[in-house]
Amino acid sequence: MPQPSPPPPPRPASRRRDPAARTVVMLAFEGARLLDVTGPLEVFSVAARLGGRYEIRLCSPDGRPVTTASGARLAVDTDVPELSAHPLDTVLVPGAEELAQGRFPPGLLDAVRALAARSRRVASVCAGAFALAGAGLLDGRRATTHWRHTATLAARHPTLTVDPDALYVRDGDLFTSAGVCAGIDLALALVEADEGPDLAREVARDLVVFMQRPGGQSQFSVPARTPRPRHDALRALLDAIAADPAADHSNPALAARAGLSARHLTRLFRAHTGTTPAGYVEAVRLEAAQTLLANGETATATARRTGIGTDESLRRLFLRRLGVTPSAYRARFHTTIR
C-alpha cells in the first residue's frame, strides 16, 4: 500500500503584538558583521527581560537567512515588506566591509528606505552608516563610522559632516556609531533615552560592559591615536606628558625641557601631532580625569591630580569635550564597574 505523505510542517504561531511595546528591528543582510547585529540586539533583549517594553525583530530584505562576515548563518523571523506595514520604533542597520567599498547587497538600500519611512528613529553600527548615506538619509546631517572609513564616508558624501573620532553621533532622529562595540554603547544610550538610566545601568551590569561611554568620547586614547614622532625631543615630551599629566606642561616649560624655542616647539607639535602643545596636554589630562572618575575619585581630587586645577575647570572641560558633567560621567562609569 502506498505510504501516506507526511503532514506539512506546523505553521509558526502568529506573533502577539504588545501595542505598548517599542518595535526594534535589526536589518540583517549578506556579509553583515556578526557583532554589529548581535551586540545591539543583546542590549535590547536584556532590557526587555528586565522590564523594558521592547519587541525585537530580526529581518532581512527578503526574509531569507543571511550569512554574516564570520560565516555564521542567521535565521531571521520576517522580511521588510511585512514589517513596513506597521509603525516601527527603532531600525538598526549593521555594517559590512563591502558597504565602505560602495558595494550594497541587492535590496538593502530599498529596505533601509522602506523601514526608515515607518520608524521613529534609525541607527547604524560601524559601516552601516554607508547604507544610511546611500539611502539618502544622511544628506546634510552629522554622522560617524569606523575610524578606518571616516575619510571615505566624507569624500563619498560631501553634504555629510563626518565626526571622525566620536563613538556615536545623534542628529535628530538619526544615530550613527563607530566600529563594532560602539554599537553596544549606542544601544545602551537608546535604552537610557527610552527607559531611563536605571534600566540602562542594569543592562550594562548584566552584559558586564561600561554604562555607557558618552558619544563624544574618542574612539582611541590620545597616545594610541597620535603617530609616534621621529623627533627625539618631541617623543620624550609626549612620554613625559602621558606619564605625569599633572606636571607643569605649559608651553614655556615644555620648550625649556626640550631645549627649543616655544615657537619652534609649537611648529613641531602641529607637524607631528596635528595640535598645539596645550591642546595635546588638555586631551591627555581629560583622559586621565575620565579614568580617575571611573575609579570612583571625586571631582575635586580628579581636577587636582590631573593638573586641570579646579572643579569648575574640570566641569567646563567635560561639558565642552564630552557633553556631560564630571558627576554624570562618574555616576555612569563608577556604578557599572562596582
The DSSP element (H or E) to which 169 belongs, if any, is strand 168-171
User: At which residue does the C-alpha cell 593638573 appear?
Assistant: 307
β-pairing, 168-171 with 174-177?
antiparallel
Residue tagged active-site, from 28, 35, 109, 126: 126
Find the domain containing 170 and state its range: 22-207
Number of independent structural domains in the chain: 2
Residue 256 in grid coordinates: 625649556
Instruction: List the one residue out of 135, 142, 52, 145 whose CA is nearest residue 91.
Output: 135
Specify whether 235 is located in the same domain as 325: yes
Residue 203: inside a domain: yes
**Whether 298 contacts 326, CB under 8 Å:** no
Same domain, 248 and 163: no
Q: What is the rounded CA–CA span in Å between residue 28 and residue 219? A: 25
Distance CA 144, CA 166 (A): 7
Place of cell 566620536: 166
Round to whole Å and give the CA distance between 292 and 283: 14
To the nearest 5 percent, what fractions of the chain are helix, strand and coil? 45, 15, 40
Any idea what DSSP says for residue 180?
A: T
193 and 287 both lie in a single domain: no
Q: Are residues 164 and 250 in the same domain?
A: no
Q: Are residues 191 and 232 in the same domain?
A: no
In a domain, 97, yes or no: yes
How many angstroms separate the CA atoms of 155 and 94, rounded?
A: 21
CATH number of the domain that residue 250 is part of:
1.10.10.60
Residues 40 and 153 in one domain: yes
Residue 319 lies in a domain: yes
User: Please, what sign has the CA dihedral across residues 137, 139, 145, 150?
Assistant: positive
130 & 232 share domain: no
Asked if 36 contacts 125 with a C-beta cutoff of 8 angstroms, the reply is yes
- Same domain, yes or no: 200 and 250: no
3-class DSSP assignment, residue 171: strand
Q: Are residues 297 and 149 located together in one domain of the fold?
A: no
Q: Compute mean pLDDT per 10 residues along the chain, 338 residues long, and list them.
A: 48 53 97 97 97 97 96 96 93 97 97 97 98 97 92 95 85 91 91 91 83 50 58 86 89 93 92 89 89 83 93 94 86 50
pLDDT at 181: 85
The pLDDT score that the predictor gives to residue 128 is: 98
Whose CA is closest to 54, among 20, 15, 94, 92?
Answer: 20
pLDDT score recorded for residue 255:
93
The cell for 133 is 548615506
| Residue positions counted in the chain | 338
Question: 74 in a domain, yes or no?
Answer: yes
pLDDT score at 222: 54
Residues 6+ apart with CB under 8 A from 54: 21, 22, 23, 24, 44, 45, 47, 48
pLDDT of residue 45: 97
- Partners of 26 in the β-ladder: 58, 92
Q: Which amino acid is at 196?
A: G
Give the Cα separation of 59 and 81 in Å (integer). Answer: 10
**What sign does the dihedral 307-312-313-317 (CA atoms) show?**
positive
Same domain for 35 and 183?
A: yes
Domain boundary among 207, 232, 257: 207
In a domain, 99, yes or no: yes
Query: Strand 142-143 relative to strand 66-67: parallel, antiparallel, unpaired?
Result: unpaired
169 within a domain of the structure (yes/no): yes
Decide if 142 contacts 171 (C-beta within 8 A). yes
Q: What is the value of pTM for the model shown?
A: 0.66
Are residue 101 and residue 177 in the same domain, yes or no?
Answer: yes
What pLDDT score does 336 carry? 39
Q: Which CATH number do you get for residue 128?
A: 3.40.50.880
Whether residue 16 is contained in a domain is answered as: no
- Angle between the N-to-C axes of helices 251-258 and 277-294, in degrees from 0 to 180, rounded to the nearest 10: 110
Query: Which residue, 181, 207, 233, sits at the end of a domain?
Result: 207
Quick one: cell of 81? 515588506
Alpha carbons 95 and 31: distance in angstroms, whole number? 9
Report if residue 212 sits inside a domain: no
Contact 294, 335 (CB under 8 A): no
Claim to verify: residue 47 and residue 124 sit in the same structural domain: yes
For the question of residue 181 being annotated catalytic, the response is: no
